Amino acid sequence: MKIVIPDGDTLALPDMKQHILEIFSKYGEVICNGTTRPEEVAEKIGDADAVLCNKTPVTEDVMEQCKNLKYIGLFATGYNNIDIPAANKRQITVCNAGEYSTHAVVQHTFALLFALAGNLMQYHTAVASGEWERSPVFSYFPYPVHELYQKTFGIIGFGSIGRHVAKAADAFGMHVLVNTRTKPEACEFELVSQEEIFRNSDVVSIHCPLTEQTKNMICRENLNLMKSSAYLINTARGGIVKEQDLADALNQGKIAGAGLDVLVQEPMNPDTPLKSARNCLITPHIAWSAVETRERLLQIVAGNLEAYLSGTPVNQVN
């Protein structure tokens, strides 16, 4: 079997690349590319039987050119970069890596929230510039700090990550509201409409996939429903947010702040209006990237491939 990894740099530090080859070489010949531009995908895959990718787009045109392709394994939970109907038509098996990053994303969700609620970046800057040294009193707090206790935490999307975020918010003594497309069985938290999430939450945290239904969900109309003291957290997909609308809401004080780990264009477009938006904390899509999380991811993807080769695919999305 010939296996191509078109975007190895998206999941490995330089010292992990050999480790990746060691994991997958037992299944066949492995070609690991650092990055692959969209126009190069078909050429790089060539006559491979399997592709293991993270964000590389595998379109119908690519599948049409790569006649040997039988399996696509994702180093990701989301699979919006794969043309699933085209894969179905060609009987190409597509498997993702669900739940590998749950704990890391929960951790990062609250890291963003803590930084906003505690004004941590402003305090770090103030201390570094000597403001605390010049303070007449021992405790220097010119910027407001808010506690989370008894605040309302609204979650949109209630998969593995959403469920664990809800438990963490509950542990902080927050009132948890949940909006989800599929009603969960025996949910211990209050299930409400999307409108109620936006109207009533002090924190709105996004944990749903990017679909035609969720694209641009964070728009002017919904942002106008939110409290002026509320925070928005997005560790899901950038396309869920209409970036100009969010920038306007932040700059006009319609909401208090935003913590974003994902943007519509990644790497970030230098012209994104969010880059200079008021009280907007942006991290470069790292919520999933803990060292332990990436090792877990490699093992899941290897397990998926092994299951496929044995004739009993797991984590199949098509």
Which residues are known catalytic residues? 237, 266, 285
Buried b (16+ CB within 10 A) or exposed e, 79-91: bebbbeebbeeee
Tokens of 192: 């409400």
Taking the C-alpha atoms of residue 228 and residue 251, their distance in angstroms, rounded to an integer, is: 12
CB atoms within 10 A of CB 303: 15
Cβ(218)–Cβ(241) below 8 Å: yes
CB-facing half-sphere around the CA of 195: CA atoms within 13 A: 1
Closest CA to 204 of 230, 228, 171, 224: 230
Closest CA to 126 of 139, 112, 108: 139
